[in-house]
Structure 1
Amino acid sequence: MSERPAIYVLEQDFDRLSAMLEKQLHGTETAEALALELDRATLVDAEKLPSGTVTMNSLVHFKNESNDAEYTKRLVYSTPRDGSEECVSVLAPAGAALLGLRVGDRIDWPLAGKNQLRLKIIHVTHAN
């Protein structure tokens, strides 16, 4: 796997994600990978967040370079049940991979029993 880019996580996102991961009785492969990503993250407050960084609740336009498909999804804690918006959970492989990346960053993310996701961040819009 290629070297992972630096990631930046808002302190409040880190706190909520850490608490969420602690409550997981049986950690999934993705939850364990997310915990490792949080361990290596640089924690920042909103004023020091580098521009174009993927945070929780941001709208992310990204490309899966494995199949050339592009997506625009909101990174959420859990997927809304009403399906009113295109979302990706931070506990899904793509969601965990996106957290903390910046526009232009690429990451290779392993998938269980498959190859890997190759994601590139194109654009990020933060929630108000």
Structure 2
Amino acid sequence: MPRTAKAGRKPVITVARSEHDRLLVFANTIAAQNPDSSEELLAELERARVVNDDRVPDDVVRMGSSVKFEPDTGETRTVTLVYPGEADISVGKVSVLTPIGTALLGLAPGQSIGWTARDGRRHELHILSVDAPPAESQQQGSGEAA
């Protein structure tokens, strides 16, 4: 079965159990001050296929993964998916709470997903490659916002 989404449907995503649990707590914690981001992240976590950490393929976007993708603008980008406290767009670290960060979570090469920017415009991106996160980043990431 191909990994790309059929028109109008979001692709299947895979999330490690430990990250799912941590992100679920985090999304619920920030719901009062950031309801839109919380709601989007919770929706993605709800539809995710949750697997044991050691069963997540290396080419699936996890926290700390480096992701090369092509947005609908056509210029290839590479970012690292991080928790908000680690985000720094100037060095390519994108928070999982941003619309694009939430959209990237759990995807693999060959998959595409549509997402809505904070200004309300719809976009699409296509995953080209994923580099697994360093082992230490999978254990260090905290849900703390800076």
Is the structural similarity TM-score above 0.5?
Answer: yes
Residues 14/81 of structure 1: CA separation in 2 closer, same or farther (3 Å cut): closer
Indicate the structure with greater strand content: 1
- Contact 1:8/1:42 (CA < 8 Å) preserved in 2? yes
Identity %: 33
Describe how 1:46-125 pairs up with structure 2 within 5 A: 46-65=53-72, 67-78=73-84, 80=86, 85-125=91-131
Q: Structure 1: which 5+ runs fail to align?
A: none
Q: What SS does structure 2 have at the residue aligned with 1:69?
A: coil
Counterpart residue number, 1:16: 22
TM-score, normalization: structure 2? 0.78
Residues 107/47 of structure 1: CA separation in 2 closer, same or farther (3 Å cut): same
Residues 112/127 of structure 1: CA separation in 2 closer, same or farther (3 Å cut): closer
Q: Structure 2: which 5+ runs fail to align?
A: 1-6, 135-146
Residues 74/115 of structure 1: CA separation in 2 closer, same or farther (3 Å cut): same
Indicate the structure with greater helix content: 2
TM-score, normalization: structure 1? 0.88
Instruction: Tell me how many residue pairs correspond in the alignment.
Output: 127
One-letter code of the match for 2:121?
N
One-letter code of the match for 2:112?
R
2:47 and 2:34 map into 1 onto residues whose CA distance is: 19
- Of residues 7, 11, 28, the one that matches 1:5 is 11
2:107 and 2:119 map into 1 onto residues whose CA distance is: 25
One-letter code of the match for 1:52?
D
